[in-house]
Amino acid sequence: MNSGSGIQELMAAETRASQIVAEARIARGDRMKQAKVDADELIKTYRMEQQDAFDKKAAADGGSGGNASAKLQAETQQDIQAMQAMFHKNAQKAVDVLLSKCCEVSLEVPTARVRSTQKLYGK
């Protein structure tokens, strides 16, 4: 019966080894989660520092971002209105040019075509 107890000891050792491996996997997962939390905290801190530095620089350069943004928005609207006015002013002219080009049909045969046709048919 000595071999039976040896098998039981091996099975117990195998069970214990699988428990150790499972615990190690769980611990690794916990360490990974903690590392992610720590990294997110570092990123958040860095982002706040950079945003503060940017805000200070923008304020030192002579204006708030909101004012510059509003000015840019106003200039953009003026440009859009000017372009729309030019479009409405020139739309009919463009349509007339397109229609005239589409309706013009030239019935003249180019001389190069006449010569190539004469060469083909020997006239």
Q: Per-residue pLDDT averaged across 71-95, rounded?
A: 93
Residues 54-92 as b/e (b if ≥16 CB within 10 A, e otherwise) read eeeeeeeeeeeeeeeeeeeeeeeeeeeeeeeeeeeeeee
**Cβ-Cβ contacts under 8 Å for 65 (sequence gap 6 or more):** 58
Q: How confident is the model at residue 123 (pLDDT cuts 50, 70, 90)?
A: low
Does this model's pTM top 0.85? My answer is no
Six-digit token string for 75: 């200039």
Percent of the chain clearing pLDDT 90 (strictly above): 57
Amino acid 70: pLDDT: 82
Q: With 90 as the cut, is the pLDDT of residue 18 above it?
A: yes
Give the model confidence (pLDDT) of 21-74 as tens digits.
999 999 999 999 999 999 999 999 999 999 999 888 877 776 555 677 788 899
Q: From CA 120, how far away is CA 117, in angstroms rounded?
A: 5
